Amino acid sequence: MKEFLHAKLHNVRITETNKEYEGSITIDKRWLRASRIKPYEKVIVADVENGARFTTYVIEGEEGSGIIGINGSAANLVNKWDRVIIMAFKHLSDKDIEGHQVSKVIFNDSNEIKETVVESPFSSIFSNM
């Protein structure tokens, strides 16, 4: 099994931090649906502003709330309104790589979805074989 990116929220802004929460990242349900990231899924969060990276799990936020909430000790690594990249990965067997699709949700400076892309990054590689 090899690990591949399967979903990404790109340049989304943190809307709140809560150091007293037990840990995790809270994400608006509509953005989870757009990205195909699931509640309790492991994600890596990379802060574009300061380079901090951490691993956590997802909690579903209220649909339409626009929340990107960094909770627990990870709240010490980021600031409200920092841009982050949230990445989820998937383990694939060699036979599953060819059909693998990656969901990318790209945000504008107002924290609105600018573009949603679903791509099959390996289709051209396998079509030439």
The per-residue DSSP string of 45-108 comes to EEETTT--EEEEEEEEEPTTS--EEEEGGGGGG--TT-EEEEEEEEEE-HHHHTT--EEEEEE-
The catalytically annotated residue of 57, 73, 120, 123 is: 57
Which tokens go with 10?
A: 């790109």
Q: How open is the CA angle 14-72-65, to the nearest 5 degrees?
A: 40
Active site residue 57: yes
Which residues are known to be catalytic? Answer: 24, 57
